């Protein structure tokens, strides 16, 4: 790995009421208190963000949201603006998760608008890309990822994208217990970096963190992190339990 600081991020999806989220965050903060060389982020549901923000303040755990809407404000019932996330202490925002694409009709075009809105509000977007099982089997993995990346990042310049984080999450590995092998992850991460290099130049491509996501657990994180282009993980199921997630954060030990 170049000089990229690892990021271990937890996506809590639609799990945990506010009291449950607060308790989980409290335990996690204690368990990872000594972490200095890795960035740690958790993305609770919107309803718990403000309270979890109070718990993680001053700790090594940063706060992220699971989505945002690109408009600043207005008659958009049910939507959450970037400024609302900033106001409760979010630093990161997950964008284009495959569950959003699959169940809520999000597209590369809306991913692009969301990323722009995140940057405009100083939030770090964690842009998710990934192929389905059918796309992998029909050998379309690279073309699907190429399109997701290029369309999602259309009209940005290298200068805009300095803080971007990408999460490669093969859809067939999310919540299924099937993990891509570390070699499969590395192959795709290298490919994504090469697409970034062609579009935005070598300096940016080398500096962008690319996380792997899909059934990451304490027993597979170390071998994934040993790959030169894997800079961290986006963890779903295994981030819900603080002990388990802290073991992933402490993958080096
Ligand atoms: C995710 O939600 O981004 C994810 C990767 O889930 P899981 O770790 O449960 O596969």
pLDDT at 2 over 80: no
Q: How far apart are CA 244 and CA 248, in angstroms?
A: 7
Pocket perturbation via mutation, ligand 1, pick of 96, 130, 218, 236 by most ligand atoms within 8 A of CB: 236
Query: Within a domain: residue 64?
Result: yes
pLDDT at 90: 98
**CATH code of residue 26:** 3.20.20.70
Lookup result for tokens 């067939």: 172
Q: How far apart are CA 153 and CA 109, in angstroms?
A: 9
Kindly report the protein residue whose alpha carbon is nearest to atom 7 of ligand 1. Answer: 236
pLDDT at 9: 98
| Dist. CA 141 → ligand 1 center (Å) | 19
Query: Within a domain: residue 21?
Result: yes
Query: Within a domain: residue 139?
Result: yes
Query: Within a domain: residue 208?
Result: yes
- Looking at beta carbons, which pairs linking 156-162 to residues 24 or more positions away fall under 8 Å? 156/115, 156/116, 156/200, 157/200, 158/200, 158/201, 158/203, 158/204, 160/119, 161/200, 161/204, 161/208, 162/204, 162/207
Q: What is the overall mean pLDDT for the chain?
A: 96
CB 180 within 8 A of CB 212: yes
CB 97 within 8 A of CB 66: yes
| Dist. CA 29 → ligand 1 center (Å) | 21
Query: Within a domain: residue 1?
Result: no
| Tokens matching residue 245 | 């997630």
| 182 to 71, 138, 179, 246: CA distances (angstroms) | 38, 21, 8, 21
CB 157 within 8 A of CB 196: no
Query: Within a domain: residue 2?
Result: no
pTM: 0.97
pLDDT at 3: 84
Chain centroid to Cα 160, Å, comes to 18
39-75 in b/e form (b: 16+ CB < 10 A) is bbbbbbbbebbeebbebbeebbbbbbbbbbbbeeeee
Q: Quote the percentage of the chain above a pLDDT of 90.
A: 94
pLDDT at 202: 97
Instruction: Burial-class residue 147 by CB neighbours within 10 Å (0-12, 13-18, 19+).
Output: middle
pLDDT at 43: 99
Kindly report the protein residue whose alpha carbon is nearest to atom 8 of ligand 1. Answer: 236
71-118 pLDDT tens trace: 999 999 999 999 999 999 999 999 999 999 999 999 999 999 999 999
| Dist. CA 201 → ligand 1 center (Å) | 30
- Model confidence at 135, in pLDDT bands (50, 70, 90)? very high
145-173 pLDDT tens trace: 999 999 999 999 999 899 999 999 999 99
Number of domains composing the chain: 1
Mean of pLDDT values over 23-36: 96
Residues having CB within 6 Å of any atom of ligand 1: 11, 13, 169, 174-175, 213-216, 234-238
Q: Is 97 a catalytic residue?
A: yes
Pocket perturbation via mutation, ligand 1, pick of 213, 224, 230, 245 by most ligand atoms within 8 A of CB: 213
Kindly report the protein residue whose alpha carbon is nearest to atom 4 of ligand 1. Answer: 236
Extended beta strands in the chain, E state: 7-11, 39-43, 61-65, 92-95, 124-129, 165-168, 209-213, 232-235
Query: Within a domain: residue 242?
Result: yes
Supply the range of the domain harboring residue 193. Answer: 7-249
| Dist. CA 77 → ligand 1 center (Å) | 28
pLDDT at 1 over 70: no
Q: What share of the chain is helix, strand, coil (3-state, %, to 5)?
A: 45, 15, 40
184-239 pLDDT tens trace: 999 999 999 999 999 999 999 999 999 999 999 999 999 999 999 999 999 999 99
Pocket perturbation via mutation, ligand 1, pick of 13, 43, 224 by most ligand atoms within 8 A of CB: 13
Mean of pLDDT values over 137-145: 97
Kindly report the protein residue whose alpha carbon is nearest to atom 3 of ligand 1. Answer: 236
Residue from 17, 49, 27 nearest 249 by CA = 27
pLDDT at 253: 83
Task: Considering only CA atoms, give the Rg of the chain.
Answer: 17
Catalytic-role residue among 2, 97, 106, 197: 97
Query: Within a domain: residue 194?
Result: yes
Kindly report the protein residue whose alpha carbon is nearest to atom 2 of ligand 1. Answer: 236
Q: How far apart are CA 205 and CA 197, in angstroms?
A: 5
User: Which ligand 1 atom sits nearest the alpha carbon of residue 11?
Assistant: 2
């Amino acid at each position: 790995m170049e000089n990229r600081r690892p990021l271990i991020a937890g996506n809590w999806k639609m799990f945990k009421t506010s009291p449950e989220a607060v308790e989980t965050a409290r335990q996690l903060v204690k368990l990872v208190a000594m972490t200095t060389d890795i960035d740690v982020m958790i993305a609770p549901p919107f309803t718990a963000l403000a309270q979890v923000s109070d718990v993680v303040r001053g700790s090594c755990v940063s706060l992220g949201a699971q989505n945002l809407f690109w408009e600043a404000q207005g008659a958009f019932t049910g939507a959450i603006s970037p400024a609302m996330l900033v106001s409760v202490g979010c630093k990161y925002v997950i964008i284009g998760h495959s569950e959003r694409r699959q169940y809520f009709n999000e597209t590369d075009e809306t991913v692009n608008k969301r990323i722009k809105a995140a940057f405009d509000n100083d939030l770090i977007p964690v842009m998710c890309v990934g192929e389905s099982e059918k796309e992998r089997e029909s050998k379309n993995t690279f073309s699907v990822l190429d399109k997701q990346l290029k369309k999602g990042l259309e009209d940005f310049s290298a200068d805009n994208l300095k803080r971007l984080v990408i999460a490669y999450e093969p859809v067939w590995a999310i919540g299924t217990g099937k993990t891509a092998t570390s070699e499969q992850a590395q192959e795709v991460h290298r490919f994504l970096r090469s697409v970034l290099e062609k579009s935005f130049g070598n300096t940016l491509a080398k500096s962008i963190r690319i996380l792997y996501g899909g059934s990451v657990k304490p027993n597979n994180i170390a071998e994934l992190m040993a790959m030169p282009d894997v800079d961290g993980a986006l963890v779903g199921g295994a981030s819900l339990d603080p002990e388990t997630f802290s073991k992933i954060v402490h993958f080096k030990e």
